[in-house]
Structure 1
């Protein structure tokens, strides 16, 4: 796939019409009849999600932490693939592994000293590219980290607003 050819008209349009590059992504969680699961609709697919077994969920569906780590792994892997294709870096395979540590005592409200959420997230990108030069690999690393949307969002969190609608 010639990624540069595919992206060229998009980049030209975004340069010509700067506002056209702005998008809004949406995800909607909807209850499923049990307090430990929901469906998540992203507009192009619907996923089942559930509370982790460590907080009383069935453990049969992805929990929200799994989905967050999955989003990071997917974004890093796809970004790395796209950058490699764009730069012409010869690769045989690219794999991303995202891992995160959290203490469920915080989530369950057992301790005010234990934070709710991940305390550490680790991302490992395994790039099989024996024919790539050191310079190519360094450029691949730098550009992947710069352009991975989820990684950059986690490193520099945006303002998050919450609103409630009661019926």
Structure 2
């Protein structure tokens, strides 16, 4: 079984939380018993999360050797310059080493649901949207890559993993994948 969930902002990618006060977890969404996340999506990121009850499938989805592309819509602070986009395309050096090259392009603001809480708006600081595709998955990698080129991330939404797409799922909704 493979499930696609639109993980809302401020939800942990696990079913329990021992912190005080407890944070929202995947248990809040009525998912089928026995599924678990195939990969992670940060607490402050949104979008497509795949869950499965099949360990071999989870391994194929998350193991870097299988290089499943992951596509994100990223709202960044600032106006991307050609050299910043080129740096992302070639790979940037992070504290844990160089990244693989990413596919990146600027996009029009996508038709997304409102985020709760909303992204901070500043009249004097422009923002822009990027579509960024990676074939690796380090901790907070997209945020660290955009920051490394001088474009801090304001909002991060994963829209695809390999052939699976977020499509029209609203935050908190899920569907079984074929």
Calculate the TM-score normalised by the size of structure 1: 0.28
| Structure with greater proportional helix content | 1
- Flag the structure with higher strand content: 2
- TM-score of the superposed pair, with normalisation by structure 2: 0.27
